[in-house]
Structure 1
Amino acid sequence: MIHIRKIAVNLIISLLLVFSVTNLEVDSKTINEADTELLDTLKYALIGSLYEPIDKAIKEIYKGDINAPEGLTWAIYDTEITKIKQTNGIGGFYEVTFKVYPYYRAHNSYGEDEVVVNTKGELVSFRHLKTYPQ
């Protein structure tokens, strides 16, 4: 049993050395399986991945608004990214500022809001910008 382990360990070490010495180059290409161009797909993916904190902010903004229509919601495709701030080095965390346009029923606009979320999925800040008359 010990003999087989030695052979396995030696084989793994040999393979690692061979692969590190040969310096293989690997080309990778992003496969975009969406109905949008890659940049838009990435934008929607980012917004969608941060849906919960953005939704939390919108609910908080309008919870005290007695005129807010029932069923007020927002759409990923209608949300803008207005700023991306690097908070701690390349590849670290970021704060993303969104402009969100809440609507009701058949996409009747009700307002504009700014929501800042970090890439840890935490709500950083939010503020109401404008209410549209009904």
Structure 2
Amino acid sequence: MKKLAVTLIVATVLVITGTSAASKTINETDTELCETLKYALINSLREPIDKAINEIYKDDQEAPEGLSWASFQTEILKIRQLDGIGGTYEITFKVNPYYRAHITYGEDKVVVNSDGELIGYKHLKTYPKVHFN
């Protein structure tokens, strides 16, 4: 009986003083985790966003050559869950295409799903083109 009591006491002490096995996310970036995840999501969907920008401006005779966009200037407007937790999501972005040294040319809404498919897009605004000598 004494052996059982000692064994239980030792086991209880070990359980109480034992180290936790909980894991912690390591963020090795210059931004907070939430911002890091935002940029990772945006960059992972770069291809369909590029496709939308090309489609939006392909017939614009005034559009500068080499329009680009930056993830740090892109807003996530909405994330809609389509198929339940862990399923497909539909993400709506506001993208500001630019030329040269980040001179904004337009504002567009782009909808992409989490599988990397372009769902739709809408041109919202065109800014006047800056002419250089």
Q: Partner of 1:98 in structure 2?
A: 93
* Contiguous gaps of at least 5 residues in structure 2: 1-19
Tell me, in whole angstroms, the C-alpha distance in 1 between the residues paired with 2:42 and 2:77.
12
1:75-133 deviation digits (Å, cap 9, x = unpaired) = 01100000000001111110000000000001100000000000001000001000001
Partner of 1:109: 104
CA drift at 1:71: 1.1
Q: Percent identity?
A: 70
Aligned length: 110
| From 18, 23, 29, the counterpart of 2:24 | 29
1:128 to 94, 119, 123: 123
Give the TM-score normalised by the residue count of structure 2: 0.80
- In the TM superposition, residue 30 of structure 1 has moved relative to its aligned partner by 1.1
Find 1:40's aligned residue among 32, 35, 41. 35
CA distance in 2, matches of 1:90, 1:39: 19
Deviation of 1:26 after TM superposition, in Å, equals 4.4
Once residues 31 and 116 of structure 1 are traced to their aligned partners in structure 2, the CA distance between those partners, rounded to angstroms, is: 30
Choose from 46, 49, 66 the match for 1:71: 66
Equivalent residue for 2:17?
none
Return 5+ residue gaps in structure 1 as ranges: 1-24
The alignment's C-alpha RMSD in Å is 1.0
* TM-score (normalizing by structure 1): 0.80
Per the alignment, residue 82 of structure 1 pairs with: 77
